[in-house]
Amino acid sequence: MAVYTQVSDEALAGFLAGYDLGEALAFKGIAEGVENSNYYLETRKGRYILTLFEKRVNAADLPYFIGLKQHLSSKGYPCPEPVMGLDGQALRTLEDRPAVIVTFLDGLSPRRPTAKQCRSLGEGLARMHLALADFKGHRENALGPSSWRRMWDGRGADAEAIQPGLEAEVNACFERINAARAFSANLPRGTIHADLFPDNAFFLGEAFSGAIDFYFACTDALAYDLAVCLNSWAFEEGNATDASRLEYNFSKGSALIAGYQSVRPLEAAEREALPALCLGSAMRFFLTRLSDWSSTPAGALVKPKNPLEYAARLAFHRKIESAEGYGA
Ligand SMILES: Nc1ncnc2c1ncn2[C@@H]1O[C@H](COP(=O)(O)OP(=O)(O)O)[C@@H](O)[C@H]1O
Ligand SMILES: N[C@@H](CCOP(=O)(O)O)C(=O)O
């Protein structure tokens, strides 16, 4: 579960005294999530999420993330809205951690997204890109292409240990990424979510109702965000023992791209870059998962995510030559 920091009753009461929310009527740790400690909070004013930021989030980035959510909320985009304290600040301290309260978002994260939900998600992603077009904040993508080689160096044996032959496969993918123009091309850039997986998107029925967890958001190619979503929404989930049988679901992928393009049509250069961007974003999640997999001790509170699910995606993308291969 992802509650790394316990909050005492006294600390919570003292913290809430800094807001105009009243006292807590309900306060419960949330099991989902892997990065930070999240609590469900209810007061007479409404329902909220209280987040305490743990070690992987750089405290210096927090004003950027808060500003981004304020910007989206001010445009009516459905996302958690930071709640200000009586001093006008959203970012405060609780149990020696940076902490924020944000509004609670209704909706459910799909376990197995349908093609209709993929289309709606694509629309929601493009609307997010447009709503953020005039956001002034800037943050480099700390997990962008220049970090991948560094993350991979020295990890070949870890990869071989989970699947013989994987080191050579990953090296072959790096050759393909290095040869691709996508990462140096002048693709349209802007503020991207960079982690809009199904567990970070909410739906009411088939309709996208909002996005959460903006803690990887950064300035990067807009089509890279679409590639992250194709990876996380359009592959049929396998299980821990048979991740190699994951397959691209053409109907879901093509619905996601169509939904995106119904709001923001892709430029020719973005279409051309799509296979390399999909390969690159699969590499990014493969590498962070491989690192977590190798460094998480057995019996740890949070179960690391399976890197083989992303090795399967790498193998798929290496064979795709054009955007048509994804149903674009
Ligand atoms: N604003 C919100 N409204 C409703 N539920 C939320 C909200 N923010 C987080 N949650 C719940 O908390 C869980 C963990 O949040 P998340 O931001 O993904 O955590 P982490 O950054 O630790 O991975 C989500 O899966 C969701 O169930
Ligand atoms: N989406 C990433 C892990 C990040 O977890 P989140 O709970 O913060 O979305 C992955 O699946 O590897």
The answer on 259 and 296 residing in a single domain is yes
**195 CA distance to ligand 1 centroid (A)?**
13
Q: What is the mean pLDDT of residues 117-122?
A: 98
Contact 144, 177 (CB under 8 A): no
Do the bridges between strand 201-204 and strand 37-43 make them parallel or antiparallel, or are there none, so unpaired?
Answer: unpaired
Residue 240 pLDDT exceeds 70: no
Ligand 1 binding residues, C-beta < 6 A: 2, 30, 32-36, 38, 49, 80, 102, 104-105, 199-200, 212-213, 215
At residue 164, the pLDDT reads 96
Q: Is the alpha carbon torsion for 167, 304, 151, 320 positive or negative?
A: positive
The answer on 138 and 70 residing in a single domain is no
- Rg (Cα) of the chain, in Å, rounded? 20
* Type of residue numbered 115: A
ipTM for this prediction: 0.95
Residue 113 pLDDT exceeds 60: yes
Question: Is 3 contained in some domain?
Answer: no
Residue 239 pLDDT exceeds 70: no
Range of the domain at 273: 115-326
Ligand 2 atom closest to Cα of 32? 7
The answer on 126 and 96 residing in a single domain is no
The answer on 204 and 63 residing in a single domain is no
Question: Is 287 contained in some domain?
Answer: yes
189, 192, 187: which is closest to 228 by C-alpha?
A: 192
Question: Is 38 contained in some domain?
Answer: yes
What's the pLDDT band for 33 if we cut at 50, 70, 90? confident
Helix/strand/coil (H/E/C) assignment for every residue in the chain: CCCCCCCCHHHHHHHHCCCCCCCCCEEEECCCCCCCEEEEEEECCEEEEEEECCCCCCHHHHHHHHHHHHHHHHCCCCCCCECCCCCCCCCEEECCEEEEEEECCCCECCCCCCHHHHHHHHHHHHHHHHHCCCCCCCCCCCCCHHHHHHHHCCCHHHHHHHCCCHHHHHHHHHHHHHHCCCCCCCCCEEEECCCCCHHHEEEECCEEEEECCCCCCEEEEHHHHHHHHHHHHCEECCCCCCHHHCEECHHHHHHHHHHHHHHCCCCHHHHHHHHHHHHHHHHHHHHHHHHHHHHCCCCCCCCCCCCHHHHHHHHHHCCCCCHHHHCC
Question: Is 148 contained in some domain?
Answer: yes
What's the pLDDT band for 119 if we cut at 50, 70, 90? very high
Question: Is 110 contained in some domain?
Answer: no
The answer on 178 and 51 residing in a single domain is no
At residue 96, the pLDDT reads 95
Ligand 2 atom closest to Cα of 292? 12
Question: Is 98 contained in some domain?
Answer: yes
Question: Is 149 contained in some domain?
Answer: yes
The answer on 157 and 242 residing in a single domain is yes
What's the pLDDT band for 182 if we cut at 50, 70, 90? confident
How confident is the model over 125-164, as pLDDT tens digits? 999 999 999 999 999 999 999 999 999 999 999 999 999 9
| Residue owning the nearest CA to atom 2 of ligand 1 | 104
Structural tokens at position 131: 């709503």
What's the pLDDT band for 242 if we cut at 50, 70, 90? low
Q: Residue 148: what are its φ and ψ, rounded to 5°?
A: -65, -45
Task: Give the closest ligand to the alpha carbon of residue 83.
Answer: 1
Residue 298 pLDDT exceeds 80: no
The answer on 128 and 69 residing in a single domain is no
Contact 91, 98 (CB under 8 A): yes
Question: Is 2 contained in some domain?
Answer: no
Query: Rounded to whole angstroms, how far apart are CA atoms 259 and 282?
Result: 21
Task: Give the closest ligand to the alpha carbon of residue 2.
Answer: 1
Q: Which of 37-51, 70-84, 177-191 shows the lowest per-residue confidence on average (mean pLDDT)?
A: 177-191
Query: Rounded to whole angstroms, how far apart are CA atoms 224 and 237?
Result: 21
Structural tokens at position 29: 């740790």
CB atoms within 10 A of CB 70: 16
Ligand 2 binding residues, C-beta < 6 A: 33-35, 195, 197, 199-200, 213, 285, 288-289, 305
> Which residue, 77, 103, 129, sits at the end of a domain?
103
**242 CA distance to ligand 2 centroid (A)?**
20
The answer on 147 and 51 residing in a single domain is no
* Type of residue numbered 89: Q
Mean pLDDT of the chain: 94
Pocket perturbation via mutation, ligand 1, pick of 1, 49, 58, 61 by most ligand atoms within 8 A of CB: 49
Residue 216 pLDDT exceeds 70: yes
**88 CA distance to ligand 2 centroid (A)?**
31
The answer on 320 and 176 residing in a single domain is yes
The answer on 272 and 150 residing in a single domain is yes
> Which residue, 103, 123, 151, sits at the end of a domain?
103
Percent of the chain with pLDDT over 90: 88
**Total count of domains within the chain:** 2
The answer on 18 and 156 residing in a single domain is no
The CATH number of the domain where 44 resides is what? 3.30.200.20
What are residue 211's DSSP bridge partners? 201
> Which residue, 82, 103, 124, sits at the end of a domain?
103
How confident is the model over 51-102, as pLDDT tens digits? 999 987 899 999 999 999 999 999 999 999 999 999 999 999 999 999 999 9
What's the pLDDT band for 269 if we cut at 50, 70, 90? very high
The CATH number of the domain where 157 resides is what? 3.90.1200.10
CB-hemisphere CA count at 13 Å for 328?
26
The answer on 90 and 213 residing in a single domain is no
